[in-house]
Amino acid sequence: MSSTEGPSRAADKSPRQQVDRLLVGMRWRRLEEPLGFIKVLQWLFAIFAFGSCGSYSGETGATVRCNNEAKDVSSIIVLFGYPFRLNRVQYEMPLCDDDSTSKTMHLMGDFSAPAEFFVTLGIFSFFYTMAALVVYLRFHNLYSENKRFPLVDFCVTVSFTFFWLVAAAAWGKGLTDIKGATRPSSLTAAMSVCHGEEAVCSAGATPSMGLANISVLFGFINFFLWAGNCWFVFKETPWHGQGQDQDQGQGPSQESAAEQGAVEKQ
C-alpha cells in the first residue's frame, strides 16, 4: 500500500508545488508602483465595461385597446438586450378585427456592431492586462533586461488607448439610437393599428438604461486609464533613456562653450 501511495502523493504535490513556486516568485510590491497599480485598474475596469454591456437586457411595451364590439385590450411587451439586433426582435400587433388576429412586427435597427466591438475590446483588454501583470510581477527581469518587452507594451498600450476612445464613442452613439428605437412612443408609432380609429394605443414604461449608461462611462474610464499609462510605459522604453542621455550630453558642451566665450571676452 505504501509503495502505491507514494507516487500518487508525489503526483498530487507536484502541481501544488509549481503553483507555490509561482506565487512565491511574485513581487507583489510592484503593485504599489504606478505601472503595476494602473494595470490592476485596467484589468478591473475592463471586466466592468464588457460585463455591464454584455449582460444588459431591457423591455419596452405598449397597450392597444380595440374599439370593436369585444373591446379587446392587448398588452405588448418586447424584450431586448445584447447584442442589440433589434430588427430580429419580434412582437405581435393586434389587428382589432372580428377575427382577433395579429401581425408579427419587428423593432427597428441593428446596433450590434458598436456593442460587439465594445465587448470584444473589453475582453482583449482583460486578457492582455492579466498577461502583462504576470510578466511584470513574476518575470520582471525579462521586462527590464530585454528592451523589446517595454517597446511592445508601449505600442500595445497606445493601440488600446485609441481603440477605447473609438469604442466608447461609438457605443455611446449606438446607445442613443437604441434608446430612440426602444422608446414606447416609437413602438406605437410603428404600429399601423394605432394610426386609425379602430384602436387607442397608450405607451408603456420607458426601458431602464442605467446599466447601459454605466457601460459607456466605464468605456471612457478605460480610455483615460490607458492614456495615462502610456507615460509610465514609455519611461521603461529605451526611447526615454536616449532622450535623457542626449540632454546630459548637450549640457556639458553648452556649459563649456559659455565658459570659452567668457574667457575670450576677458
Question: How many whole angstroms separate alpha carbon 206 and alpha carbon 212?
Answer: 14
Question: How many whole angstroms separate alpha carbon 199 and alpha carbon 179?
Answer: 26
Say which CATH number the domain at 193 has.
1.20.140
Helix (H) or strand (E) holding 113: helix 112-138
Rounded to two decimals, what is the model's pTM? 0.79
* Three cell numbers written together for 35: 505601472
Q: Is residue 6 part of a domain?
A: no
pLDDT at residue 138 in the model: 80
Phi, psi of 235 (to 5 degrees): -65, -20
State the DSSP code for 223: H
Q: Is residue 98 part of a domain?
A: yes
pLDDT at residue 213 in the model: 96
Q: Is residue 83 part of a domain?
A: yes
What count of other Cβ atoms lies within 10 Å of the Cβ of residue 41? Answer: 15
Q: Which residues contact 230 (CB under 8 A, 6 or more apart)?
A: 154, 157, 158, 161
pLDDT at residue 192 in the model: 87
Whether the Cβ atoms of residue 49 and residue 222 lie closer than 8 Å to each other: yes
Q: Which residues contact 123 (CB under 8 A, 6 or more apart)?
A: 46, 50
Which residue matches cell numbers 514609455? 234
pLDDT at residue 146 in the model: 73
Q: Is residue 261 part of a domain?
A: no
Measured between alpha carbons, how far is residue 112 from residues 118, 119, 168 in Å? 10, 10, 14
Total structural domains within the chain: 1
Domain that holds residue 132: 30-235
CA nearest neighbour of 106 among 120, 118, 92: 92
Q: Is residue 64 part of a domain?
A: yes
Per-residue pLDDT of the chain (266 residues; tens, 9 = 90+): 445 555 545 445 566 665 555 555 567 777 778 788 899 999 999 999 999 999 999 999 999 988 866 677 888 999 999 999 999 999 998 888 767 688 899 999 999 999 999 999 999 999 999 998 888 888 777 767 777 888 888 999 999 999 999 999 999 999 999 999 999 999 999 998 888 887 888 988 889 999 999 999 999 999 999 999 999 888 888 776 654 544 454 544 454 444 454 445 44
**192 SS3 class:** helix
Whether the Cβ atoms of residue 199 and residue 66 lie closer than 8 Å to each other: yes
**What would the 3-class secondary structure string for 137-173 be?**
HHCHHHHHHCCHHHHHHHHHHHHHHHHHHHHHHHHHH
pLDDT at residue 13 in the model: 54
Q: Is residue 168 part of a domain?
A: yes
Q: Is residue 91 part of a domain?
A: yes
Q: Is residue 54 part of a domain?
A: yes
Task: State the virtual CA torsion across 246, 247, 252, 255 in degrees, nearest 10.
Answer: 140
